[in-house]
Amino acid sequence: MWRVSARTLILVLILIVCGQVAGSDIRAVPCTIGSPGQTGECAIILDQVSAGLSEFEIQVLLMDRAIGEITGIQFPSWAGLNSKSGVPSDSVILKAVDTGKRINPGDKEVVLGTLTIRGDSPGTSEIQVKVIGVKDEGGTPYSIPGRNGTLTVMEASTTPLASATPTLPVPLTIPVTTIPTVALPTSTLPPINSITTPVPTFVIPTVPLPPVTSQPTTIPSVIPPSPTLPPVNTETTPVPTVVDPTPSPTPVETGSANGESTPLPTQTPVMDDDTADAGAGRDSPAAVRGALCIDSLPQNARIIVDGRASGITPVCLTLDGGIHEISLSTEHGFSWSGNISVIAGQTLSLPAITLQKPPTYVISVSAGPYGTVFPSGNVEVVAGEDAEFYFTPNPGYRLDSVWIDGVSMEPSLLVSFVSVSENHVLSGTFSPIPPPVAYFAANETDGYAPLTVGFRDQSRGDITVHQWEFGDGTGSGDPSPVHVYDNAGTYTVILGVCGGGGCDTIRSEGLITVRQRDPLVANFSANTTSGQVPLMVQFEDLSTGSPDAWLWDFGDGNYSEDRSPAHLYTSEGLFTVRLTVANEQDTAVSEKEEMVNVSHAAIGGSIGFILVQCNLEGAQIYLDNVFQGTIQNGTLTVPVYVTGTPFNTIRVKDDGFLIYSGPIKAYPSENQTLTLTIPSITTRSVNTTATRFDVPDLLANATYTLPSLLNQ
């Protein structure tokens, strides 16, 4: 049985997502410019490639902009789909993709870009490197630090030519120093150690010193007293008695060595109590200590005596008499343990102990073409231990399947066996990664500057890199960027995508058209400017400069935000009309004083209403050939006098449709509303399609709508 432990999965995910090779960084190479006004080349270098390099994005900043300025950027030949921010500048962003797979894992000192820097003033500035993102050969991001460099701009050279006449040295004046008189204390000095300390010899220079102005001082001689040595211990430290091991006593063994043993020749034990691995009884009297000589097959096994490390085999140890717990072990899984009886005053030489190797199992590991697995072959695993295997596809391929003991498993680059207790067979196969297919869409393709366009990536396949060119000299690496076109023109948009299976590019010629707005000027007209109460006036916007917002002030306290509204004046008077228009860039106003003259009605008095319903927005409504207004939101309400001469006909006009004209056979009562519903009906012939209006006989205060005849 196998399973991937949680700890292993977490470790692998961390290595994949945040992998970083120790000591690897992206650095700015220190560079020097001879003097202000000159330029120099400063390289940005990746010192070691960890797992390959598919793309990078870094920012380089000159921390002191007074020292110099970045005036140019050169990319190496392998860096495709590259882009850079504008120069000259004190801060630039570099992006590039290894589209040709020319940078390999293990490469060192890889140049990512070369900056041309102009020196402006003498001094030193730090070149700061910020790593925005790096991806490995498979397109997986990993972290890597940036290391700063320095830019040094030298002073302009002003050094004069060297003179042919050598400069003579100036003689030094030696100051005269007065040595103060030092009075030594007369107190009794402590005893001096009998070991004589050598007194350093000082060599007095023979150069005559300048005369001393002060009186000489006589330094008194000090005769140290004779030291008194401590009494010497005349007792002799007893030497431990080594008992002749012949005949050797029979050892008592409670452990098992598992194998034939060859006895060691009788030997004199090494009684070194100062050895770090001496036995537990090093501080016991010699009368209760014995010796134990141990050897093993294989040799150099670690020895543990009563829980304490005691060296490696072969060795002889001094131990207290009695039974000791002994264990031997090696790095390769061999081990032995048991209890040994040591007799005080005697040497016990054990036969060479054959260490037992624990049982192992074999995992046969293989991988198909276009990838590798590590480790591979017949891998031996000690029983109860874990084993991990890593599959690595070749560039352009992916792990397609994993088989364990003939059973297909979910493909995983890491396969773990936990507590191995039987043999296994592990294999993996790889398949090519399909190349991506580039495609995109734009939400706007025509408009006025500044025009904001949202691009949406619709490419298919395994994609790790996007590179946009908007046609105006700028680009982006975002999958679905938003771009603003500031100037009028026609622009070609290019999208390049790359993934494990390769790269693809799509080019859309003249996709974006940006037009320049005319100056914004507000203007309007009206179909009539005088009449009796109630007076319906249809206003028409005549503004230029592409306004996209309107605000009408009709002068009677009413307002509208429609582009060309119809307004009903219900009181007499002179009314000033004001129109305000706006777009994203400007606002304009047109005002016409006392434009509308509404007079007192000669006839009539009581008012009713005709509500016209029509599904054609903007259709014009006429009663007895007098314009009443346009359909807005599907309706138009027309006030009519019910005590005067009634209207007899209704006409409906709209561009692209046949004109409808019909009689009005009913009329509203005072304060009542008559609803007229006028549907549009599409009529078809062999070569043309037209629409006519059809109105049934109208009934007062009622709505009657024909069934839909659309497309019949």
Tens-digit pLDDT profile for residues 55-101: 889 999 999 989 999 999 999 988 876 778 888 999 999 988 886 78
**480-484, 591-595, 700-704: range with lowest mean pLDDT:** 700-704
Per-residue pLDDT tens over the stretch 144-195: 899 999 999 999 865 443 333 344 343 444 444 444 443 434 434 344 343 3
Q: What is the pLDDT of residue 288?
A: 85
Supply the pTM of this predicted model. Answer: 0.34
pLDDT digits (tens, 9 = 90+) for 122-152: 999 999 999 998 888 777 888 889 999 999 9
> Do the Cβ atoms of 115 and 85 come closer than 8 Å?
no
Highest averaged pLDDT of the listed ranges 31-35, 309-313, 425-429: 425-429
H or E element at residue 541: strand 535-541
| Lowest-pLDDT range of 139-148, 211-220, 377-386, 664-673 | 211-220
| pLDDT of res. 101 | 80
Cis peptide bond prior to 450, omega within 30° of 0:
yes
Number of other residues whose CB lies within 10 A of the CB of residue 680: 20
Q: What is the DSSP letter of 464?
A: -
The model's confidence at residue 213, banded by pLDDT at 50, 70 and 90, is: very low
**Is 305 a residue whose pLDDT tops 80?**
yes
**C-alpha pair distances (Å), 697 with each of 265, 667, 700, 706:** 135, 12, 10, 11
Q: Indicate whether 517 pLDDT > 60.
A: yes
CATH 1.10.10.10 is the classification of domain 7-153: no
Phi, psi (deg, nearest 5) at residue 17:
-75, -40
Equal CATH topology for 7-153 and 360-432: yes
Q: How far, in Å, CA of 246 to CA of 346, rounded? A: 9
As a whole number, mean pLDDT of residues 276-304 equals: 74
The CA radius of gyration of the chain, in Å to the nearest whole number, is: 51
pLDDT tens-digit profile of 14-39?
444 444 444 588 999 999 999 998 99
Handedness of CA 618, 623, 628, 634 (dihedral sign): negative
What does the alpha-carbon distance between residue 678 and residue 669 come to, in Å, rounded to a whole number?
A: 21
Distances (CA, A) of 452 to 483, 520, 563: 6, 20, 24
| Residues 458, 468: Cα–Cα separation, whole Å | 13
Reference 511, options 592, 561, 442, 572; nearest CA is: 442
Q: What is the pLDDT of residue 680?
A: 62
Domain 360-432, what fold?
Immunoglobulin-like (2.60.40)
| pLDDT band at 617; cut points 50, 70, 90 | confident
Query: Taking 50 as the threshold, does the pLDDT of residue 541 lie above it?
Result: yes
524 bridge partner residues: 541
Tens of pLDDT, residues 639-697? 887 766 678 888 888 877 788 888 888 888 888 888 888 866 444 433 444 444 444 43
Q: Distances in Å between the alpha carbon of 69 and those of 65, 76, 127, 460?
A: 6, 21, 11, 42
Place of tokens 């006009």: 653
pLDDT band at residue 210 using 50, 70 and 90 as cut-offs? very low
The DSSP code for 121 is S
What phi and psi values does residue 16 have, to the nearest 5 degrees?
-75, -50
Q: Which residues pair with 577 in a beta bridge?
A: 592
CATH superfamily of 440-515: Immunoglobulins (2.60.40.10)
Share of the chain above pLDDT 70, in %: 72
12 phi, psi to nearest 5 deg: -65, -40
Q: What percent of the chain has pLDDT over 90?
A: 44
More confident residue, 676 or 424: 424
Residues 6+ apart with CB under 8 A from 93: 57, 58, 59, 84, 85, 132
Spans of all domains in the chain: 7-153, 360-432, 440-515, 604-712
Question: Which tens digit of pLDDT belongs to each residue from 33-57?
Answer: 999 989 999 999 998 887 778 888 9
Residue 387 neighbours by CB under 8 Å, 6+ apart: 363, 379, 381, 416, 417, 420
Q: Confidence band (pLDDT; 50, 70, 90) for 237?
A: very low
pLDDT-derived band at 331, boundaries 50, 70, 90: confident
Cα(37)–Cα(157) distance, integer angstroms: 13
Select the highest-mean-pLDDT range: 248-252, 301-305, 597-601, 625-629: 301-305
Q: What would be the CATH architecture of the domain defined by 604-712?
A: Sandwich (2.60)
- Cβ neighbors of 430 (< 8 A, separation 6 or more) are 367, 368, 369, 370, 371, 393, 394, 397, 398, 399, 400
Question: Which one-letter amino acid corresponds to residue 371?
Answer: G
- The kind and range of the H/E element at 13 are helix 6-18
- According to the model, what pLDDT value does residue 334 have? 79
pLDDT score of 643: 67
Q: Report the pLDDT averaged over residues 276-294.
A: 65
Whether residue 260 has pLDDT greater than 60: no
Q: If you average pLDDT over every residue of the chain, what do you get?
A: 77
Determine the average pLDDT of the residues in 418-431. 95
Question: Could you tell me how many helices (H) and strands (E) the chain has, helices first?
Answer: 1, 53
Amino acid identity of residue 122, one-letter, is P
CA distance 519 to 379: 81
Write out pLDDT tens, residues 440-498: 999 999 988 889 999 999 999 989 999 999 999 999 999 999 999 999 999 999 999 99
Token pair of 30 as six digits: 């220190």
Q: How far is CA 375 from the centre of its chain?
A: 32
Decide: residue 453, CB within 10 A, 0-12 exposed, 13-18 middle, 19+ buried. Answer: buried
| Mean pLDDT of all residues in 375-399 | 93
What does the pLDDT read at residue 287? 64
Assess contact for 529 and 112: CB atoms under 8 A: no
